[in-house]
Amino acid sequence: MRPTPSDTLTRTGVLAVLRAPDASLYGPVVRTLAESGVRCIELTLTTPGTIATLPRLIAAAGEAEIGVGTVREEHEARAAIDAGAGFLVSPGIMPGVAEAAAAGEVPVYPGAMTPTEVDAAWRLGAAAVKIFPAATVGPDYIGQLRGPFPDVRTLPSGGIALDEIPAWIAAGCIAVSLGGPLLGDAFAGGSLVALRERAEQALAAVARGRAA
């Protein structure tokens, strides 16, 4: 049976992607996002210390769902699941990652771009297919994909500005994946108040897209 995206992701419509110089910087940002209502958070493996820090962050995250992204190898997927990851995200189609996710009964969001890749990702058991890099194609591409793939859930990622969110949601995406446009300079001493404001803007933009 295919895993489905979590209620947290489908309800809020925002997946925050955190890529920091070191995992020790995650705590305040995760807390601010969760308090702001962005409660589906991806911690990337390109950040040193992500797996080691994951259990502590999950314990402190309250209702937030925390997963691991940039997962490319099966052993990385298993380590993330063992540490408590609620979901996995990969930058492309990695069968070993999908197999580990299925064995661990957690949703996986593999990256894809072309129709052939989207089909392959879905056949591997994706809970949703991460359309990456999304800015390369734009929201109209989702509408074109829905013709031959009406059952495929999509999650665009890469270069989506906050004011572009409504168009992606209105096109049929279950949520949007946001990195830099949401996080800004939060990992470089930036204002957490400003981060909270951006998070609230993102959630409001999702609501506008769903109402369109």
Q: How confident is the model at residue 3 (pLDDT cuts 50, 70, 90)?
A: confident
Q: Give the catalytic positions in this structure.
A: 42, 130
Burial of 189 (0-12, 13-18, 19+ CB in 10 A): exposed
For the chain, report the end-to-end CA distance as a whole number of angstroms. Answer: 32
In the predicted structure, residue 1 carries a pLDDT above the cut 80: no
Lookup result for tokens 């950040």: 47
Q: What is the pLDDT of residue 128?
A: 98
In the predicted structure, residue 2 carries a pLDDT above the cut 90: no
Q: What is the pLDDT of residue 35?
A: 96
* Dist. CA 41–CA 27, nearest whole Å: 12
Domains of the chain, by residue range, sit at 7-211
**Minimum mean pLDDT range among 4-8, 19-23, 31-35:** 4-8
Q: What is the pLDDT of residue 65?
A: 97
CA angle 134, 137, 142 (to 5 degrees): 80
> pLDDT digits over 110-152, tens only?
999 999 999 999 999 999 999 999 999 999 999 999 999 999 9
In the predicted structure, residue 33 carries a pLDDT above the cut 80: yes
> pLDDT digits over 34-68, tens only?
999 999 999 999 999 999 999 999 999 888 999 99
The helix-helix angle for 192-211 and 26-36 (nearest 10°) equals 40
Contact (CB, 8 A) for 5 and 30: no
Average pLDDT taken over every residue of the chain: 97
The CB density around residue 177, as the number of other CB atoms within 10 Å, is: 28
Give just the sign of the alpha carbon dihedral 156, 177, 42, 40.
Answer: negative
Q: What is the pLDDT of residue 34?
A: 97
In the predicted structure, residue 166 carries a pLDDT above the cut 80: yes
Burial of 107 (0-12, 13-18, 19+ CB in 10 A): buried
49: left (phi over 0), alpha (psi -120 to 50) or beta: left
Contact (CB, 8 A) for 110 and 90: yes
Q: What is the pLDDT of residue 15?
A: 99
Domain spanning 7-211, CATH class: alpha beta
